[in-house]
Amino acid sequence: MTSWLDRLATTPGLGLRLEPRARSSESILTALGPVLDRQFVGERQGFTIEAQDSFGVQFATDDGYFYGVDAQRFWVEFRHRIRAKAQSAAPPTTEVISKPSPFTQLMPSIATKLVEVAKLLNDRGGRKLDRVGVIANTVVHEDEAPPGFVKFIEHVSRPWSSVEEYDIRVIGEIATTSEWQDRCVHRIQRLEAAEGLVSIVLDWQRRYTDGRVLETGKLQGLLDRAQHDAIEYFEELAGGGRFDVNGDG
């Protein structure tokens, strides 16, 4: 069965939150040199620096991957990349230069890239890992949204005959064990000018109770577990059972 995340062209992200460690943006870029060097095609630079400050840097590659590093976080997301294309005797048009792929196919690639970032930046070792995050970004017409979100939107819209615009943010706890606490930050937004399009952002987070030392050799397994549990939650939420009073779907 095809995941709604794939069917609706949802774009993913993965991130790590760590104990603070000051490192200049110049030294971050130097450490990530192997990542940036691969983006050159001949003499053409296939990436752009999107933001840079004293202790952080963000850059995007032409194939759609967005990297971020600051004093507390490493993250990688997929974002579609668009550029203007010149036309003969006509105004320029735009073209998508990143390759669209299903959410579940992009996730392993993002995890591999995040592990590489952690290995390149964990040279001093001993740093504590506090949190892992999995992000799902979806833009869909309200009529085509998964049933769980339709139920939620209908519920919050019930007091009014019609709702032109909404922006709802919910932070909810999902589960707690002796080792971690799972929660998700949900944001569902429809602007009046968006012609019925709804933005759904799900930011699933696993916070470790006592933190744990960042061991890059074990990070892939940790990310695999987080992806599995986050996607399972996203699917359950979209199915609608969590919005039923009796919880029977």
- Dihedral class, residue 247 (left if φ above 0, else alpha if ψ from -120 to 50, else beta): left
For 18-30, the DSSP string reads ES-----HHHHHH
Q: Which residues pair with 69 in a beta bridge?
A: 57, 74
Beta-strand pair 166-176/180-190:
antiparallel
Backbone angles phi, psi at 185, to 5 degrees: -100, 115
The pLDDT value recorded for residue 164 is 87
Question: Reduced to 3 states, what is the DSSP secondary structure of residue 248?
Answer: coil
Angle at 79 between CA 74 and CA 174, to 5 degrees: 60
3-state SS string over 40-98?
A: EECCEECEEEEEEECCEEEEEECCCEEEEECCCEEEEEECCCEEEEEECCEEEEEEECC
Q: What are residue 175's DSSP bridge partners?
A: 182
* Contact by Cβ (8 Å): 83, 97: yes
* Tokens describing residue 226: 């987080």
Quote the pLDDT of residue 244.
64
pLDDT, position 249: 43
Number of residues that this document lists for the chain: 249
What is residue 248's predicted lDDT score, i.e. its pLDDT?
A: 46
The H helix count followed by the E strand count for the chain is: 6, 13
pLDDT for 111 equals 97
* pLDDT in the model for residue 155: 87
Sign, CA dihedral 194-48-66-94, equals: positive
Is 103 in contact with 110 (CB distance < 8 Å)?
Answer: no
Sites in the chain below the pLDDT cut of 50: 247-249
Task: Give the tokens for residue 49.
Answer: 């620096």
Q: How confident is the model at residue 100, as a pLDDT?
A: 83
Query: What value does the CA radius of gyration of the chain take, rounded to a whole number of Å?
Result: 20
The closest alpha carbon to 131, from 26, 190, 208, 218, belongs to: 208
